[in-house]
């Protein structure tokens, strides 16, 4: 019984992460330009109320964008931004930001660039 529960859990985990694993972060670079106004070119927010995206969990980012797009998650600006994103765009953006160092692209030290 325990083995079947573990196998089912593993299968579910693979099913949920499979679309994200197929993402192409390089393809997201041009799409991410529209995100930079609030979230920064390096994934470190430039506005005080915007979250940092650099190093964020890929599955979380993809779900958040899908929820903004569908209206399940409410934020006026994010809903507008997410409306025009395809599922592939969302996967790619989530992978793009996930692969950035927490301190922003190229910092490598995990320290925030905010002063």
Distance CA 89, CA 31 (A): 8
CATH class of the structural domain 2-98: mainly alpha
pLDDT value, residue 4: 64
What is the tens place of the pLDDT at every residue in 45-76? 999 999 999 999 999 999 999 999 999 999 99
User: At residue 75, what are phi and psi to the nearest 5 degrees?
Assistant: -165, 115
User: At residue 45, what are phi and psi to the nearest 5 degrees?
Assistant: -55, 140
What is the tens place of the pLDDT at every residue in 24-34? 888 899 999 99
- Looking at 1-115, list the stretches that DSSP marks H as alpha helix, in order from N- to C-terminal side: 2-21, 29-32, 36-39, 58-70, 76-83, 87-98
Q: Where are the domains of the chain?
A: 2-98
The arithmetic mean of pLDDT across residues 37-48, rounded, is: 95
Instruction: Say what the pTM is.
Output: 0.71
Neighbour-count burial of 108, counting CB atoms closer than 10 A to its CB (0-12 exposed, 13-18 middle, 19+ buried): exposed
User: Chain centroid to CA 110: how far?
Assistant: 18
Kindly tell me if the per-residue pLDDT of 16 is higher than 80: no
What's the full length of the chain, in residues? Answer: 115
Least confident stretch, 9-13, 53-57, 82-86, 97-101 = 9-13
User: Chain centroid to CA 34: how far?
Assistant: 14
């Amino acid at each position: 019984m325990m083995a079947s529960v573990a196998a089912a859990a593993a299968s579910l985990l693979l099913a949920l992460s499979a679309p994200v694993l197929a993402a192409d972060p390089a393809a997201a670079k041009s799409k991410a330009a529209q995100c930079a106004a609030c979230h920064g070119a390096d994934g470190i927010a430039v506005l005080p109320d915007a979250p940092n995206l650099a190093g964020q969990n890929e599955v979380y980012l993809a779900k958040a964008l899908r929820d903004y797009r569908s209206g399940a998650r409410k934020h006026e600006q994010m809903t507008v931004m997410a409306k025009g994103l395809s599922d592939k765009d969302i996967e790619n953006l989530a992978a793009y930001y996930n692969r950035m160092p927490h301190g922003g692209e190229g910092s490598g030290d995990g320290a925030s660039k905010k002063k």
